[in-house]
Amino acid sequence: QQQVKQSPQSLIVQKGGISIINCAYENTAFDYFPWYQQFPGKGPALLIAIRPDVSEKKEGRFTISFNKSAKQFSLHIMDSQPGDSATYFCAASTGYSTLTFGKGTMLLVSP
Amino acid sequence: KAGVTQTPRYLIKTRGQQVTLSCSPISGHRSVSWYQQTPGQGLQFLFEYFSETQRNKGNFPGRFSGRQFSNSRSEMNVSTLELGDSALYLCASSNTGLNTEAFFGQGTRLTVV
C-alpha cells in the first residue's frame, strides 16, 4: 500500500525559530512531492513542491530537503512566525496518480 | 481568477439519507479530485475525474460515487449515509492532473446524525 509517514504529529516553535517537519515514503515510483498548508476552516493550499532530480528547493522562508536514497523529505520553515501556525501536510504522487497525503503536523508558533 | 467553489459549505443529514456535493473547478481546469478529511484518517482520496471520465478511484465503498459534467463541474454523491461519513469533503482541481499544482476548495462539512 502506498504510504507517506509524517512526523511529528504536533510541533511548538518559538517565534524566530526553525520548524522542521519530516516525511518518509515507500513507493520509489513517487516523483512529485508537494507540501500543503491548511488553516482552520480552509482547504489545503500548496506551499512548495519538489521533484526527485533536485535535493533542495527554497522559496522564501520555506525549504524542502529531499533524500532520494533514504526515501525521505522534509520541510524547514526558517524564522517561524505566529502566522505560520497551521497544519502542514506532505504528499506524494506519480504520473497521473492522485496525491497520497501524510497525516499532517499541527504547528504552533508561540509569540 | 476565481478559485475552486464547493457548495454547500455545511450539511447535516440523517443516517440512511443520501447527499450530493458540488464542486466548480478553476476555469480551464479539466481534472477534479475529491478527498475525505477526518481527524483520524487525514486526507483520503475518493476519486478523480478528467474530461467527464473517472480516471482514478480510491478505496471507498460503492456508496460513494461521482460524476463530471462537460463544463468540468463535478458532483459527488453518498448514499445510505453512515455516522462514519461525517467529514470535510474537499475538492481539488488541476489543469491536467499530471503532477501539477492542485488547488483545493474550502470543502463541505458533512455531519451525519
Q: What digits encode the pLDDT tens for the residues B30-79?
A: 999 999 999 888 999 999 999 999 998 999 999 999 999 999 999 999 99
Residues A8-53 have pLDDT tens digits of 999 999 999 999 999 999 999 898 999 999 999 899 999 999 998 9
Say whether pLDDT at A1 is over 70.
no
Put simply, the answer to whether B97 touches A31 (Cβ < 8 Å) is no
Burial of A96 (0-12, 13-18, 19+ CB in 10 A): middle
Sign of CA dihedral B28, B33, B34, B40: negative
Three cell numbers, residue A76: 524547514
* Average pLDDT of every residue of chain A: 93
Q: Are A4 and A91 in contact (CB under 8 A)?
A: yes
Mean pLDDT of A96-101: 82
Put simply, the answer to whether B42 touches A43 (Cβ < 8 Å) is no
Give the per-residue pLDDT at A2.
57
Three cell numbers, residue B90: 474537499
Give the per-residue pLDDT at B98.
65
* Average pLDDT of every residue of chain B: 93
Judging contacts by C-beta atoms under 8 Å, the chain A residues touching residue B56 are 96-98
Helices then strands (H, E): number in chain A? 0, 11
Put simply, the answer to whether A43 touches B104 (Cβ < 8 Å) is yes
- Contacts for A74 with CB less than 8 Å, ≥ 6 apart: A20, A21, A22, A23, A64, A65
